[in-house]
Amino acid sequence: MLSKLFGKSKQKTIEITAPLSGKAVPLSAVLDEAFAGKHMGDGLAIEPVEGKVTAPFDGTVAHLIHTNHAIIIEHASGLQLLIHIGINTVAMNGDGFTAHVGSGDSFKAGDTLISFDITKITAAGYPTITPIVVANEDDVKQLEHIVTSGDVTAGNEIILKAEMNG
């Protein structure tokens, strides 16, 4: 009834499911000050046990890094999430990373966004720990950490809830 009077409003609270299966850890455990110090945004990290990033919600690809090691995805509410596979993996020049989406593509929760070779990353000497951070914190009123540590399965556990401004 009220939506008919005032028009549809954007979703205010977004539930973010685990985009990878593995062990969730606080950002402070990431051996990169940009992530550990939350300079890239707040969130958490997952030490993956499977080389696959799946969509944690329905949305679009805001930006796919050309080396396929990182992606920024956007929810209809405007929430942007950066998923960065490994630390310093940009130096691999895309070797071991396969994108299944491109910038501007739409996706549904659970769709595979990027697959990656854990063995190849570790053999190259890079950690596979994957930070998952809110890229546009200024648009988020509150970020609730539902999971702070422990095992998670992609698409099963809600790890974060973001309440948008406005």
| Measured distance CA(18)–CA(16) in Å, rounded | 7
Burial of 5 (0-12, 13-18, 19+ CB in 10 A): exposed
**Whole-angstrom distance, CA of residue 45 vs CA of residue 133:** 8
Residue 84 annotated to the active site: yes
Q: Which of 63, 84, 100, 145 is catalytic?
A: 84
State how beta strands 70-74 and 112-116 pair: unpaired
> Catalytic positions, please?
84
